[in-house]
Amino acid sequence: MPPRKDADYMDIDSESDASIPDDDYGVGKSKGKSRAKAGDRRKDKGKAKAKENQPYTWEASYARSWETVQEDEAGSLQTSVEELLARGRRRRLLAPAAAVRRTIIRHLILLLDLSMSMLDRDMRPTRFDLMLQYAREFIVEWFDQNPLGQMGVVGMRAGLGERICEMSGNPQDVLKAISERHKLEPAGEPSLQNSIEMARSSMSHLPTHSSREILIIFGSLTTCDPGNIHDTLDSCVKNRIRVSVVALAAEMKICRELCDKTGGQFGVALNEGHFKDLLFELVPPPTQRALTRAAGAGISNPAADLMMMGFPTRLPDASPPSLCVCHSEMKSEGFLCPRCQAKICEAPTDCDICGLLIVSSPHLARSYHHLFPVKPYEAVMTLENGETAAPECHACSRPFPTSTSTTAGEGLSPVGRYRCLECRNEFCSDCDVFIHDVVHCCPGCGK
């Protein structure tokens, strides 16, 4: 398939984890693993070569990816496979630890391609079904990590932009909007301009301290626009809307330009797993530094503001039922807006009556880990003989591996130990990733 080559090339530039399998990718699939390795290799090469401006993967020397996979004493590939997995996961932790300012209050419009090209079966079962499935997972994860964010959905179908879901802070609303498959049946050609304009207009009223983002999942290779799409691009730049594109077919110049000029990310999905990776890379809040750089230096107001928020009282299940303002249903439980005393079903949201932003204090706390992450652990390179090394992982009490692995890479400990710089406790690679990805606090020092 011709677009595939292109996609491979894209992978180098997009800096993404090329086809590193997800955790839920079965361990038994050694084929997938060797592909992952190939991806690793290619990426490392690509980084080096990118500086020399070598444009194409097929001009790079041939990587004998299978030779790096070695059997252990028992003749099993299991250890190699686990090592590759650990390496892939750990790479995410090696991001720069410098202080960055992240946008906490996000507004995102998800632009779904609903054109005929989405019925292509190169991704199983079809691009369309896969997109819907991943979009659902994306929405759940996005709201989990961005509790104060709001999301809307716009579809591109038959040359029109179609509003599928209004901007909402409730994941259930958004999920419900894309749950009915038959209403989203693909048809016709997509129009990037129409749908971006629609997304832009629905975000034009938003305050400056919040981020405005558009995420396009694009499966087509064409766009049919009524006017000049570069005008739309300019207005996106002017409105500081960040456009990110996950393409399913191949790179298009206009998509790449949209992302580059607005500070978004662009990537072409190689396969199903890579598609998910690309999508989920957009879940954590973007840094604001990137935004200002992309939008030019002419911004006098450093996107900071004071916001008025209301902290509601939650009514217990046993309280007398009353009508809620959002659905007009009789309900016992709910939240009371502190300003107008209206009863709202869900928090966080905007009060339907007085427009006050309603949040509960746990929602604010949920965002704190983006602002103050756990410091990365250092990989223990050798076991000091003088020091009595801990026999087991400090977190899960599992004994550390006794053998030393031969293939040590960047940031990968040959003895499988990772040490917290604050409390000097040692952790296994599984716990290291779990602590940094999920728990966000160190079991040793509690920070």
Task: Using CB under 8 A, list all residues that contact another protein.
Answer: 23-24, 101, 104-105, 144, 209-210, 301-314, 316-318, 335, 338-339, 347, 356, 360-362, 364-369, 371-372, 393-398, 430-431, 434-435, 438-447
| CA of residue 184 relative to chain centroid, distance | 24
Q: How far is the CB of 426 from another protein (least distance, A)?
A: 13
Instruction: Return the H-helix or E-strand segment holding 54.
Output: none
Whichever of 36 and 104 has its CB closer to another protein, that residue is 104
Q: How far is the CB of 336 from another protein (least distance, A)?
A: 9
Q: What is the distance between the alpha carbons of residues 14 and 139, in angstroms, rounded to a whole number?
A: 22
Whichever of 170 and 235 has its CB closer to another protein, that residue is 170
Q: What is the distance between the alpha carbons of residues 264 and 17, in angstroms, rounded to a whole number?
A: 17
Q: How far is the CB of 102 from another protein (least distance, A)?
A: 9
CB atoms within 10 A of CB 188: 14
Angle between helices 127-145 and 272-280 (to 10 degrees): 30
Question: How far is it between the farthest Cα atoms of the chain?
Answer: 73
Whichever of 301 and 328 has its CB closer to another protein, that residue is 301
Q: What is the distance between the alpha carbons of residues 238 and 296, in angstroms, rounded to a whole number?
A: 10
DSSP per-residue string spanning 163-206: EEEEEES-HHHHHHHTT-GGGG---S---HHHHHHHHHHHHTTS
Structure tokens at 52: 């020399």
| CB neighbour burial string for 236-257, b if at least 16 within 10 angstroms, e if fewer | bbeebbbbbbbbbbbbbebbbe
Single-letter residue type at 36: A
Whichever of 125 and 320 has its CB closer to another protein, that residue is 320
The candidate with the shortest Cα–Cα distance to 85, out of 130, 26, 164, is 26
Q: How far is the CB of 126 from another protein (least distance, A)?
A: 27
Q: How far is the CB of 327 from another protein (least distance, A)?
A: 20
Q: What is the distance between the alpha carbons of residues 423 and 446, in angstroms, rounded to a whole number?
A: 9
Q: How far is the CB of 215 from another protein (least distance, A)?
A: 22
Q: How far is the CB of 396 from another protein (least distance, A)?
A: 4
Rg over alpha carbons for the chain, rounded to the nearest Å, is: 24
Contacts for 19 with CB less than 8 Å, ≥ 6 apart: 32, 35, 36, 39, 270, 271, 273, 274, 277
Whichever of 161 and 286 has its CB closer to another protein, that residue is 286
Give the side-chain half-sphere CA count within 13 A for 39. Answer: 28
Q: What is the distance between the alpha carbons of residues 376 and 148, in angstroms, rounded to a whole number?
A: 26
Phi, psi (deg, nearest 5) at residue 379: -80, 130
Whichever of 147 and 159 has its CB closer to another protein, that residue is 147
Residue with tokens 């797993």, as numbered in its chain: 273
Whichever of 73 and 317 has its CB closer to another protein, that residue is 317
Q: How far is the CB of 180 from another protein (least distance, A)?
A: 27
**Are residues 143 and 149 in contact, defined by beta-carbon separation less than 8 angstroms?**
yes
Whichever of 411 and 443 has its CB closer to another protein, that residue is 443
Whichever of 104 and 241 has its CB closer to another protein, that residue is 104
Single-letter residue type at 132: L
Q: How far is the CB of 284 from another protein (least distance, A)?
A: 15
Whichever of 232 and 367 has its CB closer to another protein, that residue is 367
Q: How far is the CB of 87 from another protein (least distance, A)?
A: 18
Whichever of 65 and 145 has its CB closer to another protein, that residue is 145
Q: How far is the CB of 314 from another protein (least distance, A)?
A: 4
